Structure 1
Amino acid sequence: MTTDQNKLTVRRLVEEGFNKQNLKLIDETFAKDAISHDPSQPNLARGPEGARESMRVYSTAFPDAKLTIEREIAEGDYVVQYLSTKGTHTGPLGNIPATGKKTNVTGVIISKFENGKVVETWSLWDQLSLMQQIGVVPMPETAAKQPAFAGR
């Protein structure tokens, strides 16, 4: 496949797979032994099932979430997407109960292709910002409010 075809595939995964919850698309686009790397979900299964599970986790916690492709770079067998997602935390996220808080988080997904299928992905989302937005981690004070920085 060409670089443009690979870009089209990952765009479809975002727009149809995640945003429209068309999980069957994952079976069409992921190799049976694809590897998904995600530090927030370190034990994902190989193949399409791992990708489906990853989507399920976030669509359960943020059922109204929508991904937006902010930037996209492709070279050879790789496509890199810088994404943003907005949603409301109305379902459990692991052991964190729903908070009802709105979130806006950014992340990067790198997808590697072989023979027209995704064979490996690396996902890295701003988990600290997410945890701050849902109230699990306190937001830092601004530098101006901290005594050590006052007047400088």
Structure 2
Amino acid sequence: MSSDDNKQVVRRFNIAVIQNGDRAAFDALIASDFQNRSAPPDAPNGPESLWHTFQNLLRPALSGLTVTIHDQVAEGDKVVTRKTIAGVHTATLFGIPATGKAVSIDVIDIVRVADGRYAEHWGINTLSAVLAQLRQA
């Protein structure tokens, strides 16, 4: 696959899976041996743990969740994406009761794409800073 094809895989994953919660798209776009290299130590890092993060933690807590892709750079089988995940905090998020506040999580991630699927992920984000702000609300 070309770098442009790999970028399209990542774009589709961000919109169909993260933003829209499409399980069929998730299954089509994730490798069975996927590894999340940014998972906390001793935490599961396979496909289902990634689905759980989006479907059971972020999406229920952030109404109107959107993903805005600002930049993408691809080289070989890796795609770097700078994006914002945003929504309104309307349900419990990592133990923090709903505040009704707008939330924006800035993310930079690297995805290795193999055969049109997410094979590995590395990332950094501002979730901890967002949670700290919500605790003060």
Q: Partners in 2 of 1:41 and 1:13 — Cα distance? A: 25
Secondary structure of the structure 1 residue equivalent to 2:64: coil
Structure 2 counterpart of 1:149: none
Bigger relative contact order (CA 8 A; separation at least 6): 2
Tell me the equivalent position of 1:26: 26
8 Å Cα contact 1:30/1:119 also seen in 2 = yes
CA RMSD of aligned residues (A): 2.1
- Partner SS, residue 63 of structure 2: coil
The separation in 1 between residues aligned to 2:94 and 2:106, in whole angstroms, is: 19
Q: CA deviation at 1:132?
A: 3.9
Alignment partner, residue 150 of structure 1 = none
Aligned residue identity for 2:2: T
User: Are the aligned partners of 2:39 and 2:45 in contact in 1 as well (CA < 8 Å)?
Assistant: no
Matched position secondary structure for 2:35: strand
User: Which has the larger displacement, 101-110 or 26-35?
Assistant: 101-110
Cα distance change on mapping 1:42 and 1:100 into 2, 3 Å:
farther
* Superposed displacement of residue 82, structure 1: 0.3
List structure 1 segments (4+ residues) > 3 angstroms apart after TM superposition: 37-42
Q: How does 1:1-152 map to 2 (within 5 A)?
A: 1-38=1-38, 43-47=43-47, 49-56=48-55, 57-134=57-134, 136=135
Q: Are residues 94 and 128 of structure 1, via their aligned partners in 2, closer, same or farther at CA, if it must alter by over 3 Å? A: closer
Distance 1:82 1:42, change over 3 A: farther
Alpha-carbon deviations, 1:39-77, whole Å to 9, x = none? 569623412x12211211110111311010011110001
SS at match of 2:44: coil
1:68/1:21 CA distance change after superposition, 3 Å: same
Q: Secondary structure at the match of 1:64?
A: strand
3-state SS in 1 of match to 2:99: coil
Tell me the TM-score normalised to structure 1 length: 0.79
Give the share of equivalent positions with the same residue, in percent. Answer: 26
Size of the aligned set, in residue pairs, is 136
TM-score if structure 2 supplies the norm length?
A: 0.87
Cα distance change, pair 64–40 in 1 and its aligned pair in 2 (3 A)? farther
**Worse-superposed segment, 115-124 or 74-83:** 115-124
Task: Select the structure that is richer in strand.
Answer: 2
Structure 2: any 5+ residue segments left out of the alignment? Answer: none
Query: Once the 2 structures are TM-superposed, how far is the Cα of residue 12 of structure 1 from its aligned partner?
Result: 0.5
User: Hey, what's the Cα distance between the residues in 2 that align with 1:40 and 1:96?
Assistant: 20
Query: Which deviates more, 96-105 or 73-82?
Result: 96-105
